[in-house]
Amino acid sequence: MKKFFLALVAVVAIGAVVTWQSMDSALAAPEVAFTDLNGRTVTTQDLRGKVVLVKFWATSCTTCVAQMPDTIRHYQDLKSRGFDTIGVAMQYDPPNYVKNFTETRQLPFPVVIDAQGKIAQAFGDVRLTPTAFLIDKQGRIIKRYLGNYDEKAFMATVEQALAS
């Protein structure tokens, strides 16, 4: 029994180290270029010094549509403090739907159509929406959100990132 316990502790310890190392190496946001609907391009490198929400969404995603007013409000309330948002429309979303949604909802942040799926691939092969990544001022992914999220916890994480 003692050998089993020691073996279990060793496996857990090794697993913790491997998990910590892989999380540490996965913290850097991928180097990608975002070209928005207006033709402006910004890279993840250009965004250093800001806290950035990269949000993968689709016009056909009811949760994405339901979250959009909060996403707009967070951007507007925090942009003067160094917060930015980039909406990344999924590869399967028809470009005319994305443009129409962006215009009719007056999205104030850059919206990108990931026509080849390269941005989704770079962020770990994102397939489900909404999926969002919160990136700190040093360009590290500090939180990944899938589906609905707790707004108070999200805002606390954003506030902490803005303060550091």
Give 31-163's CATH code, choosing from 3.30.420.10, 3.30.499.10, 3.40.30.10, 3.40.50.720.
3.40.30.10
Which residue ranges of the chain lie beneath pLDDT 50? 2-26
Please state the three-class secondary structure of 91-109 as a single string. CCCCHHHHHHHHHHCCCCC
What are the residue boundaries of the structural domains of the chain, listed by start?
A: 1-28, 31-163
Q: 106: which 2 tokens?
A: 């007056």
Whether the full predicted model's pTM is greater than 0.75, yes or no, is: yes
Report how far residue 16's alpha carbon sits from residue 18's, in angstroms, rounded to the nearest whole number: 5
pLDDT of 27 reads 82
* CB neighbour list of residue 37: distance below 8 Å, 6 or more residues apart: 98, 99, 102, 110, 111, 112, 113
- Would you say the C-alpha torsion 127, 131, 136, 141 has a positive or negative sign? negative
pLDDT of 112 reads 98
Q: 22: which 2 tokens?
A: 């892989």
pLDDT of 1 reads 52
Q: How far is CA 14 from the centre of its chain?
A: 29
